[in-house]
Amino acid sequence: MEPVDQNLTCDEFMDQSITPLDELKATGSSTRSIFEVFILSVQKRFCVALETIEKKSNESIVDSEQNGYSGRCFVADRWQRKEGGGGISCVLQDGKVFEKAGVNVSVVTGQLSKEAVVQMKKQHKDIDLEEGRELPFFAAGISSVIHPRNPHVPTIHFNYRYFEIQGQKGSTEWWFGGGTDLTPYVYDENSFKHFHSTLADACDRHDKSYYPKFKAECDDYFYIKHRGERRGVGGIFFDDLNKPSLADCFGFIKSCAQAVIPCYLPLVEANYLKSYSPDQRRWQLLRRGRYVEFNLVYDRGTKFGFATPGARIESILISLPLHASWEYMHSPVEGSDQDKLMKILKQPKDWVC
């Protein structure tokens, strides 16, 4: 793991770093400092890439629904947490291409409550945690959800995080987690294959077993049990990653995060100018309703955020769409494009040969 560059400036971030820059440089060989700089840099690159498309849309999109919108930029909202740490929430809202885009970085420290420790023990069975008392923790991560305006452009979510906690007898337990997944509104096999192949390539550079394993975990995790369907067409998802070494795990995380732009931006570029019908827009909003259901009922990150003292609710709920819809007993027409997509959501398939 390369230490923090001593010539680093905050111009490479969306705002001032959460930890003072001088302190990051002074502790530049620590995992905490290296990971904070990494996620701040990923946030900047992704925001700039999305802004470039949004600004370009000024000259190309003319639509009655979007009159009055201009190419928006991200608003960087830097916040602090009195219990320790803080974050930068970047939001682009009501754009021509992106109806709501959120890219959130958080670096927090504090004490996990007894209830949170019990919940974490259930989720992280391989991590040695001591129940019955509050435990000091450090958590840093980047999380993003992009909700496009055009139904032909899928929603993407990615999250990469590092966690440290004081376990039994004062030992430090650490692990990485994260993933990237796609929620489409239009059935498009070529897009699904491109997305999955890009992630598979990133995984294969480290371990050939990673992609099939983490693809299956993604399909299992983003499952809306009360609906009997997945949130989308998946991607990769993993947790409790602490082998074979810290440097190996971080290298893998870097490859996954660096794959986000090439796996997603081509899908945006190829589809954001396509025309769409009111029925396609209606279907998009219904699928976003499912997105809300999953995030509020099942998502571990949302639950952890709510259980963390001093949690910032606006940042936790940054993943929710600007618009969503629910209709009573809605069912796609048999044989339609929507029906074809629903079959995949109920029975996932392999997209990489």
User: What is the DSSP code string of 119-145?
Assistant: HHHHH-TTS---TTS-EEEEEEEEEEE
Among candidates 78, 101, 93, which has minimal Cα distance to 15? 78
Predicted model pTM = 0.91
**Is residue 133 pLDDT above 80, yes or no?**
no
Q: Amino acid identity, residue 212?
A: P
Neighbours of 307 (CB within 10 A): 16
**H helix runs in 155-224, sequence order:** 189-204, 210-221
Q: Given this model, what pLDDT does residue 135 score?
A: 77
Q: What is the pLDDT of residues 73-130, one digit of tens each?
A: 899 999 999 889 999 999 999 999 999 999 999 999 988 766 666 666 666 665 566 6
Q: Hey, where are the domains in the chain?
A: 10-346
Q: What whole-number distance in Å separates Cα of residue 345 and Cα of residue 230?
A: 5
Residue 244: cis peptide before it, omega within 30 degrees of 0: yes
Provide the percentage of residues in the chain whose pLDDT is more than 90: 78
The pLDDT assigned to 87 comes to 96
Name the active-site residue from 124, 147, 152, 157.
157
Our answer to whether residue 124 is catalytic in this structure is: no
- For the stretch 207-258, pLDDT in tens is 999 999 999 999 999 999 999 999 999 999 999 899 999 999 999 999 999 9
Where does 10-346 sit in CATH, by number?
3.40.1500.10
pLDDT in tens, 147-202: 999 999 999 999 999 999 876 666 788 999 999 999 999 999 999 999 999 999 99
CB 31 within 8 A of CB 1: yes
